[in-house]
Structure 1
Amino acid sequence: MPAQRSVLTLVPRPTKAALRPGHFTLDAGTALHIGAGAEPAADLLRTLLAPATGLSLRPSPDGRFALTLDPGLTGLGNEGYGLTVAPHAVLLRAAHLTGLLRGIQTLRQLLPPQALSDTPQRGTRWLLPCAEITDVPRHPWRGAMLDVARHFQPVSYLRRYVDLLALHKISVFHLHLTDDQGWRMPVAALPKLTEVGGHRAESQKGPAGSDTYDGIPHGGAYTRDELVDLVRYAAARGVTVMPEIEMPGHVRAALAAYPDLGNHPERTLDVWTRWGVCDTVLGVHDEVLDFCRSVLDEVMDVFPSPYIHVGGEECPTTEWTHSVAARERAVAQGLPGPAALHGWFLGQIGDFLVRRGRRPVGWAETGAELPLDFTVMTWRDSAHTLTAARRGHPVVSAYHRATYLDYAQSGDPREPLAQPGGVVDLPAVHAHDPVPEDAAPDVAARVLGTQTQLWTEFVTTPAHIEYLTYPRLCALADRAWSGATDWTDFRSRLDEHTVRLDALDVRQHP
């Protein structure tokens, strides 16, 4: 029966799931029994189901559909939930609100796929198959990074992006807000960051090294209110928005706005129109550190995320080598040379964030170069995850050969322009285990999880974003939540899941 198959086709796969005979019918008479503290979960359930079903799901102490918080269910952790569907009652329970939010996404997938539509669906019976599910994630960090610096996306699309992440029980939306090619984060005291840094004259066509440009201006920035609303919207769906502000490299847009932050303050720069790694970086004088602190103060005021990403990768040190001020700073700090200013700079920023009660995050080039109070994202080599975890870092695996969605999904010449560097196909994403095989238990415990990355040099539209993201994000979500390794089982569930994505009008890769 289709309803029974839906239990087996959940993505991500539940920890434990057992089918039972029968169905529970959602109809106009269905009422919710809402336990103390569960009101936000009930609100989300109504918000998600009302467009397609038209059901009000009114509250009632006698409601047969119960949402319950029980702090005594410690085995479920922060995100786990238990779900019992019987012919005449439904019980969704969790120890924490986030667990209820995860369970609601499971309920959506158990219903006929038409329930995911945003338009009224007539003539559909809203049947939940009877089942017993206990579901606890393997990793707390199941993330997705979207670069809106290379190509800006409106906040209306970011909300849709969050909705799709939540459906797959993704916990972290990593929002890459600044880079050489654009600055999207508003800072009230520094308006030129968006007025100047938010706009470039044109964009390079093709990969780095091309000498062809499109001649089309590109720009955009968010307002503070838009970002505050996005954070609230995501939190209501159990998703944390983690901002990223690049430093001390990948800052050409900031230097175009405020040249005095660079190593050559007399130089006038434009917002970079090329791809690749720009050799202009922040200076290391006191005013630069003050600038970074001011920016991060505003970032922390908008984003309550415990984690704040400050980039840190691909920072050429040539300008520091040729800068008298930088060389003097290196000597004053007792450093072996200007190249060591990279670690010193990030140490200053990390200390500032820690004093503010936040956790600094950075991209690791080797796994061994970031200050120890950083959570590191290892992207160049999967072996760097082990290196960083053994040093004592909390680690998020972002290995590019398994998580970079800007790489082509296949070798088919009809694929759209992609980042040079090979193919990252669906099996590669699903096969990636963020925990190294030879990690000792205490080292393995430092691996928080994994996430996808979508850099947008060649990605300009929401449709293209979704084409590159799905179904590859489904594979990462499945592996990170359940730890499931059975490829055949995943493919079987995914075949059914693609119907849900179709109901959501996701332009997925075939």
Structure 2
Amino acid sequence: MPALRRDQALLPRPTRLSLRSGHFTLDTGTAVRTTPGAEAAADLLRDLLTPATGLPLPPSPSGDITLAVDPQLRGLGQEGYGLTVADRSVLLRAAHPTGLLRGVQTLRQLLPEQALFPTGGARRERWELPCTEITDVPHRPWRGLMIDVARHFHDAATLRRHIDLLALHKLNVLHLHLTDDQGWRMPVAAYPRLTTVGAHRAGTAHGTGSEDDHDGRPHGGAYTRADLTGLVAHAARLGVTVVPEIEMPGHVRAALAAYPHLGNHPDRALDVWTRWGVCDSVLGVHDGVLDFVHAVLDEVMDVFPAPYIHLGGDECPATEWEQSPAARARAAAEGLSGPAGLHGWLLAWAGAHLREHGRHPVAWAETGTALPPGFTAMSWREPAHAAEALRRGHDVVLTHHRTTYLDYAQDDRPGGPPAQPGPVVDLRTVHRGDPDPVTSAPGAGRVLGTQAQLWTEYAPTAADLDRLAYPRLCALADRAWTGPTPWPDFSRRLAAHTRRLNALGVRHHPLTAPPPRAAQTRTAPSA
């Protein structure tokens, strides 16, 4: 089979691509012309290419490469772009500056993979782009990756690198799972013990056994405010939005270890959990908890300008509320049918606070009916739940665990690395994805898009994140941007694309793997 041209190996695949003969040569005399609004994209182009290629790409009103923002362009939306590479010029156009950022990533992929080396590993005087014409518009507006930094802490430098990789693949959301039973990673000025106490645990679980079944090695870490604002700024330059998640009312053991009075047993001393799974400890529902939620969300909104804020919301046992006179009294005072209704009540209360500040609340949806009105649903248990949530008016991000959870094993070869118990989620499964749910109900919500989930019970290192994410995240990126593509086409492009991953030092899972045996039916891992 003949080798693919670089424009035939783009990932994700462009909406429309026309091959042309010839090539455009970049050299030390190549300059960049911009129109108003295109300056940030030109700066990004230089920042990405100059360190690797040695080409200065200076600004010039007569530059051979033109980056132009034209709001009159039709059909491109906020992220679409048009790219024409001729033998003497390059024209990248978009209706919005974000579209130019997507086109810059396409230009990177059109160059030889040596141009992706982060720091001058392949400097040369001439680089060639194949002549081509591309029109490219995303299939869905939400295309993301969730990284759980609560189960295992990953530092800001690791997250910056993953933001860079998201942008290369035209993924535009980094969802940060910042808090859970096993660790609280974001500083909150009014509650300093959240990170001085809640960010550190005595050990890490060997399995799902007793409290003492852990390795005995302390694990911890927290971000500074500067870390997080720096991540947000870095992501924004690349057209990536950082969506924070603060879990409530469940998955709060780390917060209760720091501040026991926020729970239903204020006199009980808890430690940061050393186990995986679902913990029975949940937030109380007294006024002090409401003040806490307000303060935390206010700080979250101050650090993260994202229009969406994730409130967790899943796996919340009602046992403590059922046993608490104060919780039963709150449920009665709010007109709820019982303590179990406090889950939706507290989420609705927190969501209303976000909406008052112009933000949209998001939560994990364990069914299609559990979330309060106005929430965006991340339906992870069953595809049918997404359809039901749409019918009830929720916007939906598709996160079905059998096609988007990258902590599941990629194959069932003996002696493979540890992974979440459950079905094999191989590359082809992620590429296939789930059909978009359809509903004709009046007032139905929208499918915003999809994202992959990287829960980190079995990913303590940066190398583990690479191995779990790639190449499966390439498959999700292709589907999220382009829509369904034929497997043979995708697999050919991916084989060529791995040279880019290698140039960037991505320690990906090998492409060749045995076909999975029949998947077992098991409960999905905790969110």
Q: Does 1:56 align with 2:52?
A: no
- Which residue in the other structure is 2:153 paired with? 152
CA deviation map 1:192-241 (0-9, x unaligned): 00000010011111356696311100001000011001000000001000
Tell me which residue corresponds to 2:475: 475
1:433–1:479 CA contact under 8 A, matched in 2: no
Q: Alpha-carbon deviation of 1:415?
A: 1.7
Q: Is the contact made by 2:33 and 2:60 (CA closer than 8 Å) also made in structure 1?
A: yes
Unaligned runs of 5+ in 1: none
- Residue number in structure 2 paired with 1:45: 45
Instruction: Give the Cα separation in 1 of the matches to 2:415 and 2:18.
Output: 42
Q: Which residue of 1 aligns with 2:345?
A: 344
* 1:320/1:338 contact within 8 Å kept: yes
Give distance in 2, aligned partners of 1:440 and 1:425. 33
Aligned to 1:492: 492
How far apart in 1 are the matches of 2:76 and 2:212?
A: 55
Change (3 A) 1:88 1:207: farther
Report SS of the residue matched to 1:17.
Answer: strand
Write the distance in 1 (CA, Å) between the matches of 2:268 and 2:201. Answer: 17
Is the Cα contact below 8 Å between 1:41 and 1:97 reproduced in 2?
A: yes
Distance in 2 (alpha carbons) for counterparts of 1:4 and 1:457: 38
SS at match of 1:75: coil
Give the aligned partner of residue 334 of structure 1. Answer: 335
Report if aligned partners of 1:66, 1:91 keep a CA contact under 8 Å in 2.
Answer: yes
Q: Which residue of structure 2 lines up, in the alignment, with residue 363 of structure 1? A: 364
Task: Quote how far apart the aligned CAs of 1:50 are.
Answer: 1.3
- Matching residue of 1:398: 399
Distance (Å, rounded) in 2 between the aligned partners of 1:412 and 1:441: 45
Distance 1:244 1:434, change over 3 A: farther
State whether structure 2 residue 28 is matched by structure 1 residue 28. yes
Instruction: Say if 1:228 and 1:303, in contact at 8 Å, map to a contact too.
Output: yes
Give the number of aligned pairs: 509
Structure 1 counterpart of 2:492, which letter? S
Q: Deviations over 1:68-122 (max 9, x none)?
A: 0001113100100000000000000001111000000100001000011013204
Cross-structure match for 1:94: 94
Whether the aligned pair in 2 keeps the contact of 1:259 and 1:266 (CA below 8 Å) is yes
Note the C-alpha offset of 1:422: 1.4
Q: How far apart are the structure 1 equivalents of 2:307 and 2:435? A: 21
Instruction: Provide Cα deviations, 1:340-371, integer angstroms capped at 9, x if missing partner.
Output: 11111111011111001100000001021101
Change (3 A) 1:177 1:69: same
- The Cα shift of 1:443 comes to 8.1
CA RMSD of aligned residues (A): 1.6
- Contact 1:397–1:447 at 8 Å: present in 2 too? yes
Does structure 1 conserve the Cα–Cα contact (< 8 Å) formed by 2:360 and 2:375?
A: yes
Please, what TM-score do these two structures have when normalized by structure 1? 0.97
Displacement, 1:3? 9.3
When residues 107 and 369 of structure 1 are mapped into structure 2, their CA distance, relative to the original with a 3 A threshold, is same
Contact 1:263 1:320 in 2 (8 A): yes
* Structure 2: gaps spanning 5 or more residues: 511-527
Measured against aligned partners, the alpha-carbon deviations of 1:134-181 in whole angstroms (never above 9, x if no partner) come to: 000010000100000010011011100100010000011000000000
Per-residue CA deviation, residues 313-365 of structure 1 (Å, 9 max, x unaligned), is: 00000000000000000111111100011111111011111001100000001
Q: Aligned in 2, Cα 1:100/1:295: closer, same or farther, shift over 3 Å?
A: same
Mapping for residues 172-251 of structure 1, pairs under 5 Å: 172-207=173-208, 212-251=213-252
Alignment of 1:80-479 (within 5 A): 80-120=80-120, 121-123=122-124, 125-207=126-208, 212-433=213-434, 435-436=436-437, 438-440=438-440, 446-479=446-479
Distance in 2 of aligned mates of 1:444 and 1:332: 32
Identity of aligned residues (%): 66
Task: Note if contact 2:33-2:63 (Cα within 8 Å) is conserved in structure 1.
Answer: yes
Could you tell me how far apart the structure 1 residues matched to 2:210 and 2:138 are?
Answer: 43
Q: Tell whether the 8 Å contact from 1:79 to 1:102 is kept in structure 2 after alignment.
A: yes
> Equivalents in 2 of 1:211, 1:322: separation in Å?
26
Q: Which residue of 1 aligns with 2:72?
A: 72
- The Cα of 1:433 is off from its aligned counterpart by 3.5
Q: How many angstroms apart in 2 are the aligned matches of 1:358 and 1:447? A: 18
In 1, the alpha carbon distance for the partners of 2:418 and 2:242 equals 28
Question: Which amino acid letter does the alignment assign opposite residue 270 of structure 2?
Answer: L
**For the structure 1 residues 315 and 325, does the alpha-carbon distance in structure 2 shift closer, same or farther, using more than 3 Å as the test?**
same
C-alpha distance in 1, partners of 2:340/2:492? 51
TM, length-normalised to structure 2: 0.94
The verdict on how the C-alpha distance between 1:294 and 1:210 changes in structure 2, with shifts beyond 3 A counting, is closer
What letter corresponds to residue 90 of structure 2 in structure 1?
A: V
**C-alpha contact 1:98 1:238 (8 A) present in aligned 2:** yes
Corresponding letter in the other structure for 1:267: R
Cα offset, 1:444, TM superposition: 8.3
Report SS of the residue matched to 1:115.
Answer: helix
